[in-house]
């Protein structure tokens, strides 16, 4: 049987110099992620040429998603304020130019860096100018969108003031005008269902009075990090919010990140498949395969993944078993869209 071709729409990388608290505020000494993670490590994790087992997938490309590097929130000078994110782009330029591994340039199909979406549009425009200069022509051509993590804003009023503000909506429209997408990171479990509801409103505002070819594309991360405890009210609220998000035609969903949200003790692949099925069924119902894409969330998937350092393969197995569920009714064409086609379409790879 031929290998399944995959575009992994959600991976993270960082070099040795930022694999610490200085580079990332969320890293602490000794944590599993506080070490360099490069594409050479990803190849081993995903079995791309360095794996002795029977690998049934071939990763034809990946999309890099920003890693929430440190930046100086107190500086009014844009270049100083965004030094960390610009350094991140410089690292990605080296990856694209083959400084780490000759395979890397062909593998890294898309780049989604950080952007200062919480600042006035003038700051965003200056940042985009600086980012393009720092990236260089070759790497800038791989930049397909931007992300500003919203999930860590746990105060509902502050969240609403940001995502419904004129500046935030104007920034989204500016990205759309430049044909960039915006990756949405929200969190039902740790934040609240209101994060999803408010973002659904923001997506509608961002498309108001905008020409079809300038509407920003939204790519929702990790199923909105649902509360997977199985409580009925939580599930129904999530279903409603996901349905509202899907109502915006230029919105896509990533089938990714679920290992981070699993209830304690859920470790067997078959059990995980059974547990996740209702959430996946709802996403399929609302978005359909051409608006859903596979993502591994490597290496974050290793932290709570059932196979630790082999959790890329574990997530691939979970997704494969879900797709083989006859009740979900996926054709081979549907599966191929989720495994690779949707990522290529949404990110214009």
Decide if 132 is inside a domain.
no
Contact between 263 and 228 under an 8 Å Cβ cutoff? The reply is: yes
- What is the pLDDT at residue 301? 98
The pLDDT value recorded for residue 27 is 96
pLDDT block averages, 10 residues each, the chain of length 349: 90 97 94 96 87 73 98 89 97 97 95 98 98 98 98 97 98 98 97 98 97 97 94 96 95 98 94 98 98 98 96 97 96 98 98
Measured CA to CA, the distance from residue 175 to residue 37 in angstroms comes to: 29
217 is a domain residue: yes
Domain count, the chain: 1
**Number of other residues whose CB lies within 10 A of the CB of residue 133:** 11
Nearest to 115 by CA among 148, 69, 90, 162: 148
**Residue-wise DSSP of 165-224:** SHHHHHHHHHHHHTT-EEEE---TTTT-HHHHHHHHHHHHHHHTT--GGGPPEEEE-GGG
pTM for this entry? 0.97
Specify the CATH number for the domain of residue 163: 3.20.20.140
In a domain, 303, yes or no: no
∠ CA 141-88-162, rounded to 5°: 90
Where in the sequence is the domain holding 196, given as residue range(s)? 149-255
Q: What is the pLDDT of residue 249?
A: 86
The answer as to whether 104 is a domain residue is no
Q: 10 Å Cβ neighbour count for 149?
A: 18
pLDDT of res. 54 = 55
Q: How much is the pLDDT for 49?
A: 67
> Residue 218 falls within a domain, yes or no?
yes
Q: Is 58 a member of any domain?
A: no
The pLDDT score that the predictor gives to residue 229 is 87
User: Is residue 296 in a domain?
Assistant: no
Asked if residue 205 belongs to a domain, the reply is yes
Residue showing tokens 């939204």:
218
């Amino acid at each position: 049987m031929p290998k399944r071709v995959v575009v992994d729409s959600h991976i993270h990388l960082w070099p040795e110099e930022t694999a610490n608290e200085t580079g990332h505020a969320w890293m602490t000494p000794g944590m599993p992620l506080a070490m360099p993670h490069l594409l050479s490590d990803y190849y081993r994790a995903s079995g791309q040429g360095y794996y002795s087992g029977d690998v049934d997938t071939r990763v034809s490309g990946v999309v890099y998603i920003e890693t929430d590097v440190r930046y100086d929130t107190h500086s009014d000078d844009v270049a100083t304020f965004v030094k960390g994110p610009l350094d991140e782009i410089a690292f990605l330029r080296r990856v694209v130019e083959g400084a780490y591994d000759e395979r890397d340039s062909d593998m890294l199909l898309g780049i989604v860096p950080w952007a200062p979406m919480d600042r006035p549009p003038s700051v965003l425009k200056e940042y985009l100018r600086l980012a393009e200069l720092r990236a260089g022509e070759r790497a800038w051509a791989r930049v397909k969108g931007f992300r500003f993590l919203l999930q860590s804003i746990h105060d509902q009023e502050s969240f609403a003031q940001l995502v419904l503000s004129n500046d935030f909506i104007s920034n989204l429209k500016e990205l759309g005008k430049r044909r960039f997408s915006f990756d949405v990171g929200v969190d039902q479990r740790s934040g609240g269902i209101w994060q999803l509801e408010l973002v659904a409103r923001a997506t509608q505002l961002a498309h108001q009075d905008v020409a079809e070819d300038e509407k920003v594309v939204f790519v929702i991360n990790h199923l909105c990090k649902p509360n997977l405890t199985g409580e009925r009210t939580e599930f129904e609220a999530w279903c409603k919010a996901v349905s509202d998000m899907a109502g915006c035609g230029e919105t896509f969903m990533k089938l990714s990140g679920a290992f981070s949200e699993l209830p304690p003790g859920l470790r067997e692949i078959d059990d995980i498949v059974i547990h996740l099925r209702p959430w996946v069924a709802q996403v399929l119902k609302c978005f359909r395969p051409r608006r859903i894409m596979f993502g591994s969330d490597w290496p974050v998937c290793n932290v709570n993944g059932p196979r630790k350092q082999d959790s890329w393969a574990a997530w691939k197995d979970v997704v494969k078993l879900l797709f083989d569920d006859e009740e979900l009714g996926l054709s081979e064409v549907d599966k191929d869209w989720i495994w690779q086609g949707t990522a290529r379409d949404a990110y214009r790879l």
